[in-house]
Amino acid sequence: MKGKRLKDVLDDKLVDKPFWDSMFAKMNTLLVAMETAKGNYDIDDPEIRWVSDRVEYWNSEERILTKDEMQTANMYWKKYK
C-alpha cells in the first residue's frame, strides 16, 4: 500500500536526476554564499539550517524539493546571490 509521503508518490514517476543534481549544486552554491555573507554565523541560523537540511536530504535520500521549498530557495537566492 502506498503512503502519502513524497517518496512514496514519486516511486511511480521517474525523477530527472541530472536536473536535480544541477539544482542541488546551486543549493550548495547558495549555502556557501549565505555562510560568506553572514560571516560569523550561529550553527542554528534558521536560513542556513534550512538550505543545508535540503541538501542533506538530497544526498542521503534523493528527496527532491516541493513547490513551496523551491519558492523558499528562490527567495534565499535573491537575498544572498
Q: Please tell me the distance from the alpha carbon of residue 32 to that of residue 15, in angstroms, as a whole number.
A: 26
Domain limits of the chain? 15-80
Which band of pLDDT confidence, cut at 50, 70 and 90, is reported for residue 63?
Answer: very high
| 72 Cβ contact partners less than 8 Å away, ≥ 6 residues apart | 50
The mean per-residue pLDDT over the stretch 57-70 comes to 93
Average pLDDT over residues 8-30: 82
So what's the pLDDT on residue 1? Answer: 44
Averaged over 36-65, what is the pLDDT? 92
